[in-house]
Copies of this chain bind each other. A is one copy, B any other.
Amino acid sequence: MEIKITEKELKGTRPDDSSLGFGTIFTDHMFNMDYSPDKGWHNPRIEPFQNLSMSPATMTLHYGQSIFEGLKAYKNTNGEIQLFRARDNFIRFNRSAKGLCIPELDIDDAMEALKTLLRLEKDWIPETPGTSLYIRPTIIATDPFLGVRASHTYRFFIILSPVGAYYSGGFSPVKIWISKEHVRAVRGGVGEYKTAGNYAASLYASEKAKKEGYAQVLWLDGVELKYIEEVGAMNIFFVINDELATPSLNGSILPGITRDSVIKLGKKWGMKVSERKIAMDEVIEASKNGSLKEVFGSGTAAVISPVGEIRYGDEKIQIGDGKAGDIAVKFNSAITDIQYGKAEDSENWIEKV
C-alpha cells in the first residue's frame, strides 16, 4: 500500500501535558481511505486534520452504519513509540465491520497506515506518566441516499488525540448504577460490535445515573434483566473469594482487549479466572456474606477502574474501604508497566513503531 502524504504547512503545538483532558484536542494530520464497490479500499492518504464535507443525506447520519476502535500509543522511557495490542483492535474492527455489513480492511494495511501516521505525529505523543496518544480508527457509510440498506461507499479515517492521565486525582474507586429498566443490548443484536448506535442507546440511562451521582451505568442482560453484562465504556470483573469472575461473551457484550489482557495475566499468575454468567443476586449475596472482595472495570481509557459502590434500586452495595483493592492495583500496574515499557513484554503485546 502506498500512502500519499500531504503535510500541513503550519504545524500546531501539543499543549502542556498537565493541561490535557480527553478527546478534545487533535493532532495535525489524519489518515483517510475510501471504499467503492469497483475500486475496493483505495486512495490511502495522510492529510492535514480537516473537516469532512458530506451531503446531509449521507447514510451514516440517518442509519448509523459506522464502527470505530479506541486504542493508545505510548512513549517508553527511551522515547520510542509503543502500541499495545493494536493488531487485536483491528481484528475486532473487522468483526464489527462484518456485523454492520461494512467491507473489511486488510489488517496489515491498517497497521501500516497507523504506524505511518504515528511516525509523522510522534511529537504529539505526550511523555508524562499516565498520558498517551488516543487513536480513533473509524469507518462511516458515505452514500448520499435516503433508504435503508448497506451503503455502497465508505470512508475509513484515523484521528489522534493526546490525552491526559485518566486519574488526575489518584486511582480512586468509582460509583456505578444499575438500571432495572433500561437495556443497552440483547443477544442477536449488535451489542458485541463497536458501533455508534450502542452508545446512543446508553445515553438516557447514563444521564439518569449522573443525576443520582453515579459515574456510569452497569448494564444487565436484555432478556432477563438479571445477569451482569458491562459498563458501556468498560468490562467488569468481580473478585468473589479467590475467584476472579467476569461475564462471558454472550453476543451482547463488547469483547474488550483490556478485559482479555486481565484474563490472560490473571491465569498466568495462577488465579482462578472464570468467564461465566454472573447474576446480580449473586453479587448482592456475596456482598452480604463478605465474599465480595473487589470489583473493577477494564477498558482502554482508564485501564483498570476500581468500583467502590454499586447502586441497585434502593440497595447500595459498598465494596472495599474507599481505596482501590490490591488486585485492581496489581492489574493496573502490570498492564501500564507493559504499555509504557517499564516492564518486560512477556505476552508479546507491544509493537514498536
Contacts and interface: CB of A to CB of B under 8 A. Distances in A.
A68 B57 contact: no
A199 to B, nearest CB: 4
Interface residues of A, number: 67
A23 interface: yes
Contact of A52 (B49, B53, B134): B53
Interface of A: 22-24, 26, 30, 49, 51-58, 60-66, 68, 99-101, 134, 136, 138, 140, 144-150, 157, 159, 161, 179, 181-190, 195-204, 206-207, 222-223, 225, 232-233
6 contacts: A62-B138, A65-B199, A148-B206, A188-B225, A197-B198, A197-B200
A41 to B, nearest CB: 17
Given A66-B62, A150-B203, A57 B100 contact: no
Contact of A148 (B57, B186, B199): B199
**Number of copies of this chain in the oligomer?**
2
A52 B56 contact: yes
Contact of A150 (B144, B148, B207): B207
A64 B66 contact: yes
Given A146-B23, A183-B188, A61 B66 contact: yes
B196 A61 contact: yes
Given A51-B55, A52-B56, A56-B52, A63 B159 contact: no
A199 B146 CA distance: 12
Contacts of A136: 57, 62, 146
Contacts of A233: 148
A61 B62 contact: no
A56 B134 contact: no
A189 B186 contact: yes
A177 to B, nearest CB: 15
Nearest to A161: B146
Those 10 A-B pairs whose CB atoms lie nearest each other, nearest first: A197-B197, A64-B196, A23-B146, A183-B188, A63-B199, A64-B200, A186-B186, A64-B197, A51-B53, A23-B147
